[in-house]
Amino acid sequence: MTEWKRRPLSRRRFLQGAALGAVGLAGVALTGCDDDRDGGETGRPTAVLSGAGPLILTNGEILTMDALETVASSVFIENGRIAALDGPSAVNGARVIDLGGRTVIPGLIDSHLHFVTPSQAPGHFLSVIETAFSTSDLLSVLRQRVTSVPAGEFITAVGGLGPQQFAERRWPSLAELDQAAPDHPIYFQSGFSGPSVTNSLGRGYFEERSVPVGADGTIGRQDGGSALGALLLDQTYEDARRAALEYMAYSGSLGLTTVVDAGGGFWFGVDVPPDQVQGGHDLFYDMWRQDDLTVRIRLRFGGGGSAGPDGVFPVIGSMENALATVGDGDEMLKVIGVGEFTVGGFGQTDGVPFEVTYGQVAERGWSLSQHSLSVAEHEAHIRAFEVVSAQTPIAELRWAIEHGFELTTDHLRRLEAIGAGVTASNTAFLPITPLLGSAPFRDILDSGVHVAASSDSSNIAPLNPWLHIYHMVTGRNAAGELVNDGQQITRLEALRLYTTGSAWVSFDDRELGSLEVGKLADLVVLSDDYLSIPPEEIRTLSSVLTTVGGRVIHADDRFRQLMEG
In terms of domains, do 86 and 60 share one? yes
CATH classification at residue 130: 3.10.310.70
In terms of domains, do 227 and 244 share one? no
| Lowest-confidence pick of 160-169, 296-305, 531-540 | 296-305
pLDDT at 14: 27
Asked, for residue 3, whether it belongs to a domain, the answer is no
Asked, for residue 511, whether it belongs to a domain, the answer is no
pLDDT at 408: 97
Q: What is the mean pLDDT of residues 312-334?
A: 90
Asked, for residue 197, whether it belongs to a domain, the answer is yes
Helix (H/G/I), strand (E/B), else coil: 545: strand
Q: Does residue 335 surpass a pLDDT of 50?
A: yes
In terms of domains, do 174 and 312 share one? no
Q: What is the mean pLDDT of residues 276-280?
A: 89
In terms of domains, do 228 and 255 share one? no
Dihedral sign of CA atoms 464, 554, 542, 189 in order: negative
Q: What is the mean pLDDT of residues 342-349?
A: 74
Asked, for residue 352, whether it belongs to a domain, the answer is yes
Q: What is the rounded distance in angstroms from the CA atom of residue 213 to the CA atom of residue 195? A: 11
In terms of domains, do 317 and 413 share one? yes
In terms of domains, do 376 and 450 share one? yes
| Domain range enclosing 525 | 22-107+518-564
pLDDT at 304: 60
CATH classification at residue 307: 3.20.20.140
Domain boundary among 466, 483, 505: 505
In terms of domains, do 408 and 377 share one? yes
Order of strands across the sheet that contains 124-125: 124-125, 155-159, 186-190, 196-198, 218-219
String of b and e for 9-38 (b: at least 16 CB within 10 Å)?
Answer: eeeeebeeeeebebeeeebbebbebbebbb
In terms of domains, do 475 and 366 share one? yes
- Distances in Å between the Cα of 202 and the Cα atoms of 186, 188, 196, 324 are 6, 10, 11, 42
Asked, for residue 158, whether it belongs to a domain, the answer is yes
In terms of domains, do 390 and 283 share one? yes
Helix (H/G/I), strand (E/B), else coil: 279: coil
Q: What is the mean pLDDT of residues 498-509?
A: 99
pLDDT at 171: 96
- The answer to whether residues 231 and 156 touch, using CB atoms and an 8 Å cutoff, is yes
Q: What is the mean pLDDT of the chain?
A: 89
| Percent of the chain whose predicted confidence (pLDDT) is above 70 | 87
Q: How many domains does the chain have?
A: 3
**φ, ψ for residue 502 (rounded to 5)?**
-75, -30
- The answer to whether residues 543 and 554 touch, using CB atoms and an 8 Å cutoff, is yes
In terms of domains, do 307 and 273 share one? yes
| Model confidence pLDDT, tens digit, residues 80-137 | 999 999 998 999 999 999 999 999 999 999 999 999 999 999 999 999 999 999 999 9
Asked, for residue 10, whether it belongs to a domain, the answer is no
One-letter identity of residue 102 = R
Asked, for residue 2, whether it belongs to a domain, the answer is no
Q: Does residue 249 surpass a pLDDT of 50?
A: yes
**φ, ψ for residue 319 (rounded to 5)?**
-65, -45
- Distances in Å between the Cα of 6 and the Cα atoms of 101, 186, 514, 530, 538 are 13, 48, 16, 14, 20
Domain boundary among 233, 259, 279: 233
In terms of domains, do 213 and 251 share one? no
pLDDT at 318: 87
pLDDT at 337: 96
The reported pTM is 0.91
| Model confidence pLDDT, tens digit, residues 393-423 | 999 999 999 999 999 999 999 999 999 999 9
pLDDT at 146: 98
| Lowest-confidence pick of 107-116, 207-216, 295-304 | 295-304
Q: Does residue 289 surpass a pLDDT of 60?
A: yes
pLDDT band of residue 224 (cuts 50, 70, 90) is confident
Asked, for residue 378, whether it belongs to a domain, the answer is yes
Domain boundary among 505, 527, 548: 505
For the chain, the distance separating the N- and C-terminal CA atoms, rounded to the nearest angstrom, is 42
Q: What is the rounded distance in angstroms from the CA atom of residue 47 to the CA atom of residue 473? A: 30
Q: What is the mean pLDDT of residues 502-507?
A: 98
In terms of domains, do 29 and 79 share one? yes
pLDDT at 263: 82
Q: What is the mean pLDDT of residues 179-188?
A: 99
| Model confidence pLDDT, tens digit, residues 16-61 | 222 333 333 223 322 223 333 444 333 333 344 435 689 999 999 9
CATH classification at residue 98: 2.30.40.10
